[in-house]
């Protein structure tokens, strides 16, 4: 099985987050570590992702959440490395007033088509992006769009546990 790189967002993903559950459950999963989760810088986060990708023996799958999605999109605009596919969950609209100030340095988000298969999962009541904004990101990036319904920011507050629906979408990318 291909390696699975888990790419958390702002403040990392706590123990109840689906990304942490996947890291515990899936032996091929590896979390991309950032030097500073609370004061993210675009250059440092993209560099950490590139380092993790360059260490993979074969093209990995990516499972990114929130600001981790922004990191993946910025990475894809700069590097050409084979990726098996990417699950892009709850990307934030960095112009949204609810987005933490520390995340705004990732704006503007590249809008070109991604060079790998991707599925964008969006919630209808995400506090950091309207569903319409998520639809536009999916169109711009060439992603398959999946409607998560009313799942908030699709994080630990959403109570998803190991999130079987997300795992099924991940399997679609394999």
Q: Is residue 162 scored above 80 in pLDDT?
A: yes
Helix 42-54 crosses helix 67-78 at what angle (to 10 degrees)?
70
DSSP string, 93-136: -TTSTTS-GGGGGGPSPP-SPPSS-EEEEE-TT-TTS-HHHHHH
| Secondary structure of residue 171 in the 3-state scheme | helix
Encode pLDDT of 99-150 as tens digits. 999 999 999 999 999 999 999 999 999 999 999 999 999 999 999 999 999 9
Q: Is residue 91 scored above 80 in pLDDT?
A: yes
**Residue 83 in tokens:** 């990726």
- Could you tell me the strand order of the sheet in which 29-31 lies? 29-31, 4-7, 61-65, 85-89, 118-122, 144-147
Residue 96 maps to which CATH number?
A: 3.40.50.1820
Give me the phi and psi of 170, to 5 degrees please.
-60, -40
Q: How many domains does the chain have?
A: 1
**Counting beta carbons within 10 angstroms of the beta carbon of residue 116, is it exposed (0 to 12), middle (13 to 18) or buried (19 or more)?**
middle
- The H or E element that residue 86 is part of is strand 85-89
Question: What's residue 2's pLDDT?
Answer: 87
Q: What is this structure's pTM?
A: 0.97
Residue-number span of the structural domain to which 85 is assigned: 4-173
């Amino acid at each position: 099985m291909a390696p699975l790189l888990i790419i958390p967002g702002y403040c990392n993903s706590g123990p109840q987050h689906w990304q942490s559950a996947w890291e515990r459950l899936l032996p091929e999963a590896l979390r991309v570590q950032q030097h500073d989760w609370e004061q993210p810088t675009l250059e440092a986060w993209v560099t950490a992702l590139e380092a993790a990708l360059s260490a993979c023996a074969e093209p990995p799958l990516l499972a990114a959440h929130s600001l981790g999605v922004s990191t993946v999109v910025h990475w894809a605009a700069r590097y050409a490395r084979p990726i098996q596919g990417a699950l892009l969950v709850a990307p934030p609209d960095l112009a949204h007033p609810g987005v933490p100030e520390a995340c705004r340095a990732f704006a503007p988000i590249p809008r070109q088509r991604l060079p790998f298969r991707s599925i964008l999962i969006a919630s209808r009541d995400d506090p950091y992006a309207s569903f319409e904004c998520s639809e536009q990101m999916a169109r711009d990036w060439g992603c398959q769009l999946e409607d998560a319904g009313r799942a908030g920011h699709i994080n630990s507050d959403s109570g998803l546990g190991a999130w079987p629906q997300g795992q099924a979408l991940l399997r679609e990318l394999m």
